[in-house]
């Protein structure tokens, strides 16, 4: 496994981040524990979760599963950089969600209890809260850091200008601010290249892409449909997205075949080639899925392949692979 720094921090994390959203709803607890053990065997030390995962309001099912794994000992907690998130509703009362100082304090205490740990390595805001001032957010986070309950702060689903707001307020309050941002980012969804990536690079914020294979559409969906080995992409929004992009995805899978690589690994490798990306989040449902993803770290894409991928999945804006405002201005 390769490692890199998380943004401008001194924290070393693996180039793949283990996503745990399937733990509970899709993957039973025993299998989830096996996946986390296998991740450590592969050298993956960076795990991501959220208080809402498990999708039973207020229960934090996924955090509980991870907590019981930590509680089983064997150095599991010590070897893991654990990232969790707050924002989503954990109850039916007005202050059971978002980023008020009150909810930040309560949510952190609840996550610590479920995770069976005394600190969270990376505490992330799952969404921007337009109703809470940044001064209040950073004051609450700084108290948690002074208490030793969190070490680093991150964001998720922010816009580029939100990063600027966050960092400039943190600077005025003599706080370290954000070290990471989780954004949806993949070959089919490249909007972050307009303003998010440039802002993150300027401030030394590491990008952690979620949905790196766009819900499985970049993971060999057409091949799996032909051989009957997968169901993702067959219904709902995935089916609509597949039909809208069928020709491009077919050409993409052909390119991957010519490269002798699995489409999923090419999609992950492409992200690892992007300046500013720390670690895509992989969300395996089985240990076999996790094992297969390790190849992505070894895949090198040459300039010709990267150019072909840009042709198949063009960057946003009419002016090619440029940040805003050049992407859409003269």
Quickly list DSSP for 136-165: HHHHHHHHHHHTTSEEEEEEES--HHHHHH
The residues spanned by each domain of the chain are: 3-216+263-302
Angle at the Cα of 13 (from 89 to 85), degrees rounded to 5? 5
pLDDT at 262: 97
Which of these is catalytic: 3, 53, 123, 185? 53
Q: Residue 53 catalytic?
A: yes
Task: Determine contact, residues 165/171, Cβ cutoff 8 Å.
Answer: no
Q: How much is the pTM?
A: 0.95
pLDDT at 232: 57
Domain at 3-216+263-302, CATH homologous superfamily: NADP-dependent oxidoreductase domain (3.20.20.100)
pLDDT tens for 279-306 read 999 999 999 999 999 999 999 999 999 9
The whole-number average pLDDT for the span 259-286 is 97
pLDDT tens for 62-93 read 999 999 999 999 999 999 999 999 999 999 99
pLDDT at 258 over 70: yes
pLDDT tens for 226-255 read 988 765 555 556 788 999 999 999 999 999
Return mean pLDDT, the chain: 95
The whole-number average pLDDT for the span 152-175 is 97
pLDDT at 231: 58
Q: How many CB atoms lie within 10 A of CB 132?
A: 17
Percent of the chain clearing pLDDT 70 (strictly above)? 98
pLDDT at 13 over 90: yes
Banded model confidence at residue 193, pLDDT cuts 50, 70, 90: very high
pLDDT at 233: 54
The whole-number average pLDDT for the span 260-282 is 97
Angle at the Cα of 16 (from 14 to 20), degrees rounded to 5? 110
Q: What are phi and psi of 22, to 5 degrees?
A: -80, -15
CA separation for the pair 139, 192 (Å, rounded): 28
């Amino acid at each position: 496994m390769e490692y890199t720094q998380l943004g401008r921090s001194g924290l070393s994390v693996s180039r793949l981040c283990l996503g745990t959203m399937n733990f509970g709803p899709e993957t039973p607890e025993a299998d989830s524990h096996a996946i986390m053990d296998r991740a450590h065997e592969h050298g993956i030390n960076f795990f991501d979760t959220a208080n809402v995962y498990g999708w039973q309001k207020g229960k934090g099912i996924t955090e509980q599963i991870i907590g019981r794994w930590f509680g089983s000992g064997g150095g599991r907690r010590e070897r893991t950089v654990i990232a969790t998130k707050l924002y989503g509703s954990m109850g039916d009362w007005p202050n059971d969600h978002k980023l008020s100082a009150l909810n930040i304090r309560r949510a952190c205490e609840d996550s610590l209890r479920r995770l069976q740990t005394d600190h969270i390595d990376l505490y992330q805001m799952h969404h921007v809260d337009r109703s809470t001032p940044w001064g209040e957010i950073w004051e609450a986070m700084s108290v948690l850091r002074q208490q030793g309950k969190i070490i680093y702060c991150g964001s998720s689903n922010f816009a580029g200008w939100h990063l600027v707001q966050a960092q400039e307020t943190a600077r005025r309050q003599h706080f370290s601010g954000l070290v990471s941002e989780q954004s949806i980012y993949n070959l089919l969804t490249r909007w972050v290249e307009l303003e998010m990536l440039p802002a993150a690079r300027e401030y030394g914020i590491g990008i952690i892409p979620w949905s790196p294979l766009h819900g499985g559409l970049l993971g060999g969906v057409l091949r799996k449909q032909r051989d009957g080995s997968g169901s993702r992409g067959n219904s709902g929004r995935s089916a609509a997205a597949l039909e809208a992009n069928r020709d491009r995805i077919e050409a993409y899978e052909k390119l991957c075949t010519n490269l002798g690589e699995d489409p999923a690994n090419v999609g992950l490798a492409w992200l690892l080639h992007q300046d500013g990306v720390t670690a895509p989040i992989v969300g395996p449902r089985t240990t076999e899925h996790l094992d297969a993803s390790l190849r992505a770290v070894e895949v090198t894409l040459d300039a010709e392949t990267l150019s072909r991928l840009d042709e198949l999945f063009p960057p946003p804006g009419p002016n090619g692979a440029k940040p805003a405002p050049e992407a859409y201005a003269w």
